[in-house]
Amino acid sequence: MAMVNSQVQVIHNFGAGPSVLPKEVFEEASQAILNFNNTGLSILEIGHRTPLFQPVMDEARALVKELMNLDNDHEVLFLHGGATTQFMQVPMNLLNENELASYTDTGTWAAKAIKEAGLFGHVEIAGSTKEAKYTSIPKDLVVSPTAAYLHITTNETIAGTQWKNIPYDCGVPLVADMSSDILSRQLDFNKFDLIYAGAQKNMGAAGVNIIVVNKNILGKVDRKIPTILDYRNHIKEASMLNTPPVFAVYVAMLTLRWIKKQGGVTVMEKLNAAKADLFYSTLDSLPIFKGVVAKEDRSMMNAVFIIENPELEKEFLDRCKKENMIGVKGHRSVGGFRVSMYNALTIESVKAITDLMKEFAKTKG
């Protein structure tokens, strides 16, 4: 839903993250800061181990299990640190120093994950589209059967690409950074051995990571793992090893409830596909604009595009700003434009920007 500012103007937020959340989540979260569940206390002042907060953590974890249809081998954790911490925590828990991990290189985020993995063991690149400036997803992967795991970034937020065919049958444990498309489409979540995501796009506020881990892949490395970084300790303590980011967990729980109320992940996928279809069909019908990503690999979450005449770039951004459309400027490393269409962005917002693009093309094309 678009936000409404103090002058009661509708603001369409296409930001890549932190990003728009459902309006009812904003309302309930604000209320909980003032008076949580009619207790007279703020959610910000209650102890995390009290009977007031414990149900929040329990419900958040249970909702992830339910929405992803997870089996009993898969544990759900809410941890601090952002997805960037997982770039390091994953190899620390899964990769021995003398072993090999297989990574796909599909963009800025994948490259950061690869760099961190190299600190813990050997890394092979199973597939890369770096040469093509990350405008597509690699199709033929070469994964060593001895690799400790294969890592993919299911959606590259900056490049605007998304894996449509998940390499479930890669022959080794599958690890995924789902920061920018978690719970936005139906996947066979049980076929992943580890999923991590920062919550701040599809699932809530910044400050918490969601981790889904198959407990059977843990405990196989020789190194000593610091207590707070060992997934097994968090599983043992039901994600309460230390003070969790309580407010971020609460916002995630509200967002998960909202996803469930909409009909779950399948409904999210249908809505997201409708938004992406509207956006990309408009883009392809206007020769003034150009998508930069191979069509079959286009992300449903982040549409990256340019304008043929670069002199019009600023003018288009100014028009967006004037029409209360924010977050359209492309990432600094890519340029052009990026329209992010996460779960909570309404089709009305997509209609607003596609109408603006059509009108702009008519006057400038």
Ligand X SMILES: Cc1ncc(COP(=O)(O)O)c(C=O)c1O
Whether 58 is a known active-site residue: answer no
Mark the segment that binds ligand X (CB under 6 A) among 88-96, 176-184, 270-278, 282-290: 176-184
Taken in order 157, 158, 160, 162, the sign of the CA dihedral is: negative
Least distance in angstroms from the C-beta of 130 to ligand X: 16
Mark the segment that binds ligand X (CB under 6 A) among 77-85, 164-172, 246-254, 280-288: 77-85
- The single residue among 13, 89, 153, 282 that binds ligand X, judged by CB under 6 A, is 153
Count interface residues toward ligand X (CB under 6 A): 11
Q: Is 109 in the site for ligand X (CB under 6 A)?
A: yes
Q: Which of residues 194-213 bind ligand X (CB under 6 A)?
A: 198
Q: Tell me 331's DSSP state.
A: P
- The single residue among 22, 82, 121, 160 that binds ligand X, judged by CB under 6 A, is 82
Half-sphere exposure of 138 (CA within 13 A, CB side): 21
Least distance in angstroms from the C-beta of 17 to ligand X: 5
Measured between alpha carbons, how far is 150 from 176 in angstroms, rounded to an integer?
Answer: 8
Catalytic residue among 105, 163, 177, 193: 177
Residue 282: what are its φ and ψ, rounded to 5°?
-65, -50
Would you give the distance in Å from CA 184 to the centre of its chain? 9
Whether 188 is a known active-site residue: answer no
Whether 201 is a known active-site residue: answer yes
Radius of gyration (Cα) for the chain, nearest Å? 21
221 contacts 96 by C-beta, under 8 angstroms: yes
Q: Tell me 238's DSSP state.
A: T
Q: Is 180 in the site for ligand X (CB under 6 A)?
A: yes
Measured between alpha carbons, how far is 159 from 135 in angstroms, rounded to an integer?
Answer: 6
Mark the segment that binds ligand X (CB under 6 A) among 32-40, 177-185, 237-245, 353-361: 177-185
Whose Cβ is closer to ligand X: residue 200's or residue 354's?
200
Q: Is 91 in the site for ligand X (CB under 6 A)?
A: no
Give 68's contacts (C-beta < 8 A, 6+ positions apart). Answer: 74, 183, 189, 212, 265
Q: Which of residues 15-54 bind ligand X (CB under 6 A)?
A: 17
End-to-end CA distance of the chain: 31
Q: Is 90 in the site for ligand X (CB under 6 A)?
A: no
Measured between alpha carbons, how far is 78 from 56 in angstroms, rounded to an integer?
Answer: 12
Mark the segment that binds ligand X (CB under 6 A) among 80-88, 98-106, 116-124, 336-344: 80-88
| Token couple for 219 | 């405990």
- The single residue among 54, 84, 136, 324 that binds ligand X, judged by CB under 6 A, is 84
Which residue has 């469930």 as its token pair?
260
Catalytic residue among 201, 230, 275, 297: 201
- The single residue among 75, 116, 177, 193 that binds ligand X, judged by CB under 6 A, is 177
Q: Which of residues 224-263 bind ligand X (CB under 6 A)?
A: none
Which residue has 């509200």 as its token pair?
254
Mark the segment that binds ligand X (CB under 6 A) among 69-77, 79-87, 319-327, 349-357: 79-87
Q: Is 83 in the site for ligand X (CB under 6 A)?
A: yes
161 contacts 297 by C-beta, under 8 angstroms: yes
Measured between alpha carbons, how far is 144 from 131 in angstroms, rounded to an integer?
Answer: 22
Kindly list the residues in this chain that would bind ligand X in the complex (CB under 6 A).
Answer: 17, 82-84, 109, 153, 157, 177, 179-180, 198
Active site residues: 109, 177, 201
